[in-house]
Amino acid sequence: MTTTYAVSRGASADRPGALALAFDLDGPTGDAMLSGELWERPGYFCLGAYGPHRAVPRILDILRNSGVQATFFTPSWVVEHWPDLCRRIVDQGHEMANHGHRHEVFFEMSESEQLAVLDQAQAIFRRELGLEAAGFRAPSGDWHPRTAQLLAESGFRYSSSLRSGDQPFRHDGHSLIEIPAKSLFDDYTAFAYHRAPNFPSGLDRVAAYRPAFETWWEEIDAAADAGLTVTTIWHPKVIGTPGRALLLEELVDRVSRDPRIRVGTCADAVGLWAEGNNE
C-alpha cells in the first residue's frame, strides 16, 4: 500500500516547527501497582514489562538509525529495576526525565507527598544514572494546582503535562516552562487495548496501524508549516510492537529528513523556545 502525504509548503526560516519526540517508559508502574493488584495478576506485570524488556531496544535502534534523540519520561521505579537499559538510553544521547516513582496520581496527593515523590525520583536518578531530571511529565497528565510551583521550586526547568496548546509557554509567577502535549498524540487512544488482562477497561478495539500514523504525520506536517511545537505521548509497551515499530521507523525517518522540522528532545524544544524568546 502506498501512502500519499501532504505536499510540504515550508515553515518560515525564523520560526521552524519543532517535534519533541517523547516516550513514557512506564513499564509495569501505574494503577495496578499502586493498588497492589499487579502482584496478584502477573498479566498486568508482563504487559508493562514488555516496554523495557522488548520494545525500548527496538525503539533505540530506530532512533539511532535516524540520528535523532528523544526524551524518555520514566518512573524511577523503572530506573531502579532496569538500570542498565536506562543507562543505555543516556549513553546514546537521549534525555531521561521524571515521571514520578510508581506513576502516581498527583492531583490526589498533598504538597508534601508530591515533594516526597519528586525527591525520591531525583535521588534514584542521581544514584543510578548520575544525573537529575530537568523535565517532568505528570502521570496521565494529572496534577495538583500547586504542582507547577513545586516543580519550579524543586529545580525542574520544564513540564510536559498539560494539554493546553501547541507552543511552549512559561507558567505565571515562576520559571517553569510548559511543553503542551495533545492527547491525539497518545498511542493509548489507538493501540492500547489488550485481552487477558482486559485493559484499558471499557475499550474493545485496536485501530488500523497505518491510518493512525498518517494522522500523526498530518498533525506534524501542519504544525511545521505554522512553526508550532508538537510532542508525543508514546509508550514503548504500546508503540514498540514489531508491526507498529516498522511504521514508527517510517515516521521518524520522514520527520528527521524534513528541513522544516527540528526534531529532538523536550529539553531541545525548550531551548529552541527560549532562544526564540530571547531567554
pLDDT band at 118, cuts 50/70/90? Answer: very high
Among the ranges given (7-16, 35-44, 126-135, 260-269), the one the predictor scored with the smallest mean pLDDT: 7-16
Whether residue 10 is contained in a domain is answered as no
Q: What is the pLDDT of residue 10?
A: 39
Give residue-wise pLDDT tens across range 34-46. 777 878 888 888 8
Whether residue 170 is contained in a domain is answered as yes
Q: What is the pLDDT of residue 8?
A: 35
Give residue-wise pLDDT tens across range 53-85. 999 999 999 999 999 999 999 999 999 999 999
Whether residue 128 is contained in a domain is answered as yes
Domain of 169?
17-276
Whether residue 3 is contained in a domain is answered as no
Domain at 272, CATH number: 3.20.20.370
Whether residue 2 is contained in a domain is answered as no
Output the nine-digit C-alpha cell for 37. 493488584
Say how many domains are in the chain.
1
Whether residue 5 is contained in a domain is answered as no
Whether residue 6 is contained in a domain is answered as no
Whether residue 87 is contained in a domain is answered as yes
183 pLDDT above the threshold of 50: yes
Which of 226, 171, 169 lies closest to 18 in space, CA to CA? 226
